A and B are shown apart, each in its own frame.
Chain A
Amino acid sequence: MKRILVAEDRPASLELIRTVLESIGYEVIEAADGQEALEKAAYTSIDLFLLDLQMPKLDGFEVLQQLRRQSRFQHTPIIAITASAMESDRERVIAAGFTGYITKPVDIRFLRSEMERLLK
């Protein structure tokens, strides 16, 4: 079973993402902030990351950089969760090295099809 780490500080969003991912058969590891995401990634194998950009302690960009420095996560899909759908933000996200992004409020259908596409 494929394992997805979701780092998101808002419990309601985290719960929705987890429910959607589990309903299509993925195992979800939760992290409430960037620091916890890195700690959990250190001792579990993760097939895909979903990182909120604005999190306490370490934000999504910093977590991305630290993950990409580890050889085992160099080619792992890392998706940003962003609150804004502005064009400039999207460019910034892709330029930083994210594989893709999803916007809040979460589009359930898009989330599912993206995960299925990336984890096929």
Chain B
Amino acid sequence: MTQKTSELPTISLLIVDDNPGSLELLATALEQPGLQILTASDPEEALDLVFQEHPQIVLTDLVMPKMSGLELLERIVHFDPAIEVILMTAHYSTESAVEAIRKGASDYLNKPISIPALRDRFRATIEDIRRRQKALELQDELRGNAQFERIIGNSPAMWELFSRIRRIAPHFRTVLITGPTGSGKEMVAQALHRLSPAASGNLVTVNCSAVVETLFESELFGHMRGSFTGATHDKVGLVEHASGGTLFLDEIGDMPLATQAKLLRTIQYQEVLRVGSLQPRKVNVRVVAATHRDLRAMIREGKFREDLYYRLAMVELRVPALAERKEDLPLLTRHFIEKFSQQFDKRIRGITPRAAITLGRYDWPGNVRELENAIGHACMMCLSDTIDVSDLPEYLRSPEQAQSEIARAVTDKVTVPDSESAAPASLLESTERQLIADALAKTSGNQSEAARLLRIGRDALRYKMKKYGLIGSRSN
């Protein structure tokens, strides 16, 4: 019963009814170009067909022996929430309609239903599906244009940033990048370097919060043999290494005051003094500094040099928080889904509207990096080819949804065969370990901050770090 038109891709519909007469009637009535119709007279057979043929639409009767239409609905939604499931019943009630919609049905029909009405309805459903496919293609196209030097954004705030980067990159000597944690300051630094005349030189990145204070100057400016215990060779510092290119100083707010003075000298005179040497060496380096801190406040507290600040802040680029550009969420989400499905070798096509809404409701204090982690988590958890709310990290879901998830997990456990029951636990553990490691990385090992991010107590965090062997990864 397959019919094809030349341009449009075929949409497939599975009809499930235990009454062979009405099954045939429906199949004949709904026949139309571009629609492939499959039929099943029993829910088990229907599920097999869903798994094998992956239809876009399923029309099923509510009351059937062996398995009810609602149970079939749940199994289909679990397999792929993007499948449109339409239930029909002669026992219509508002309460049962609510239950069906809540479980993910796209429509709930009262029988008897006239054939012309049903045909109209299906024509509209098919149009909807085609429109959605088109929108998805369009979004892909848009995303191609919405990238600037690997930074993704198509919002006014990002256009402004891109335009400033483009104008600044050819000429800058020093730039200060400000913006909250996880907003992508390092990517901006990379774009500045790539678009600068020094692009062929090195881009040397120094994370100032990760360098041990006593070694800072030797790391940055190099040292001479014998200048301190352990200095067995002459060493070229990172500034010299970046000469002819760009030096990126991330978290500049964490640089010790004494080093700040020497950095200023380097920027002003384009020369470095290796530790233990009196002979200045000429360098030619562009400096990009970044911070999520309020440097003016640090100046008032005497923790940051005012002269260095004014030198750096002559050109300032502010990277917006994700909350300021929520219109970029769909683009970013698709980008990360693509990235992680490749990484995990899964075929994940997208995200359900309600999961997208859940992402939109959240304020993203950890910005793009937090979104990346959340999508990574979802791609890991996702068993179908579409991410749904239940795949998202629990803290993103509303308490109500989280609750019903727990209920579902418990019922699922009852039906899971013993041989498989070990797998979900280890997946859960590896995800938990990953989240903890991410939180520690994000906070540079600060346990209190990591615990706050994870919304657990510090003691619970320590216990879990011990359990997963994450103790001792702190640098201080």
Q: Report which A residues bind B (CB closer than 8 A).
A: 1, 12-13, 15-16, 19-20, 23-25, 105-106, 108-109, 113
A116 to B95, CA, bound (A): 24
* Seed contacts A13-B94, A16-B97; 5 additional CB < 8 Å A-B pairs: A23-B104, A25-B353, A105-B92, A109-B106, A109-B125
Q: B360 to A15, Cβ gap below 8 A?
A: no
Closest to B110 in A: A105
Q: A19 to B353, Cβ gap below 8 A?
A: no
Q: Please indicate the chain B residues that have their CB under 8 angstroms from the CB of A25 in the complex.
A: 353-354, 356-357
For B124, give its contact among A12, A15, A24, A113 (CB under 8 Å).
A113
Interface check B101, CB cutoff 8 A: yes
Interface check B162, CB cutoff 8 A: no
Query: What's the nearest-Cβ distance from chain A to residue B111, in Å?
Result: 13
Query: What's the nearest-Cβ distance from chain A to residue B384, in Å?
Result: 18
Q: Report which B residues bind A (CB closer than 8 A).
A: 92, 94-95, 97-98, 101-102, 104, 106-108, 110, 121, 124-125, 128, 353-354, 356-357, 360-361
Q: A108-B108, A109-B121 are in contact. Are A16 and B101 (CB under 8 A)?
A: yes
The main secondary structure of chain B at its interface with chain A is helix
A4 to B168, CA, bound (A): 45
Q: A1-B357, A1-B361, A23-B354 are in contact. Are A109 and B101 (CB under 8 A)?
A: no
Closest to A113 in B: B124
For A1, give its contact among B92, B107, B110, B360 (CB under 8 Å).
B360
Q: Please indicate the chain A residues that have their CB under 8 angstroms from the CB of B102 in the complex.
A: 19, 23
Closest to A25 in B: B357
Q: A12 to B94, Cβ gap below 8 A?
A: yes
25 A–B pairs (Cβ distance < 8 Å), ordered by A: A1-B360, A1-B361, A12-B95, A12-B98, A13-B94, A15-B98, A16-B98, A16-B101, A19-B102, A20-B101, A23-B102, A24-B353, A25-B353, A25-B354, A25-B356, A25-B357, A105-B94, A105-B110, A106-B97, A108-B97, A108-B107, A109-B107, A109-B125, A113-B124, A113-B128
State the 4 A-B residue pairs at the shortest beta-carbon distance, nearest first: A12-B94, A25-B357, A19-B101, A109-B107
